[in-house]
């Protein structure tokens, strides 16, 4: 009897552990299978690689379910290629901005950094506004704008990311609006 109860408790715990992250309702952008903030041919390649070549697990299965059918299939990669290159219909919501999955399905979304709203909330709380700017391709969303360079790459090496534009006299340091640092000049000789 006790053993059976133990098994039930263990099963309940496992269900709780497995199910609780999904209950968060993580936001994502459909079609961005590799969760890098852009929709490109690499996203379709990532889907095909995952489905047929034993490629790395998808960071956000919901985002890879391009046709919103509730399952991952070859049609998801084909749908994305059709949209990108053949003038096909755009992916269903959430697209092209971050949002929650409007339908219920068994897929989940473990992580989707481009829609991580912690920075967006911090920016607004500090009095800033969120804008899209072309910044260096290898950099993160909400890069530090206090240092020169994060958004100073050539167009070929840039991608649109969300940035925080702080109130006058302040700059976004990667997590908050702070006073713009004074340029460091060599001390004046007397």
Interface ranges with Ca ion (CB under 5 A): 32, 34, 36, 38, 43, 65, 67, 69, 76
First to last CA, the chain: 88
Cβ distance to Ca ion smaller for residue 132 or 187: 132
Minimal CB distance to Ca ion: which residue? 69
Locate 90 and state its tokens: 């755009």
Q: What's the min distance (Å) between Cβ of 43 and Ca ion?
A: 4
Smallest gap from Cβ 102 to Ca ion, in A, equals: 15
Q: Nearest-CA neighbor of 114 among 138, 142, 133?
A: 142
**Torsion sign, CA atoms 107, 108, 111, 112:** positive
Residue 29 or 163 having the CB closest to Ca ion: 29
The distance of closest approach from Cβ of residue 93 to Ca ion in the complex, given in angstroms and rounded to an integer, is 14
Q: Decide whether 76 or 141 has the Cβ nearer to Ca ion.
A: 76
Quote the CA–CA distance of 44 and 137 in Å, as a whole number.
19
Nearer to Ca ion, 158 or 175 (CB): 158
Of 67 and 101, the one with the shorter C-beta distance to Ca ion is 67
Tell me how far, at minimum, the Cβ of 35 lies from Ca ion, in Å.
7
- Smallest distance from Ca ion to CB 66, Å: 6
DSSP-assigned beta bridge partners for residue 130:
164
């Amino acid at each position: 009897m006790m053993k059976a109860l133990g098994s039930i408790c263990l099963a309940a715990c496992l269900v709780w552990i497995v199910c609780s992250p999904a209950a968060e309702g993580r936001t994502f952008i459909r079609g961005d299978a590799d969760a890098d903030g852009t929709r490109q041919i690499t996203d379709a390649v990532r889907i095909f690689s995952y489905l047929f070549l034993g490629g790395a697990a998808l960071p956000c299965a919901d985002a890879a379910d391009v046709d919103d059918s509730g399952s991952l299939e070859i049609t998801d990669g084909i749908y994305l290629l059709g949209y990108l290159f053949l003038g096909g219909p755009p992916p269903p919501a959430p697209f092209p901005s971050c949002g929650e999955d409007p339908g219920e399905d068994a897929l989940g979304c473990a992580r989707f950094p481009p829609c991580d709203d912690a920075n967006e909330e911090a920016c607004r709380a500090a009095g800033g506004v969120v804008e899209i700017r072309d910044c260096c391709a290898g950099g993160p969303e909400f890069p530090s704008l206090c240092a020169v360079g994060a958004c100073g790459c050539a167009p070929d090496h840039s991608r649109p990311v969300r940035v925080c534009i702080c109130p006058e006299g302040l700059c976004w340091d990667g997590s908050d609006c702070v006073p713009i640092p004074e340029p460091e000049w060599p001390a004046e000789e007397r």
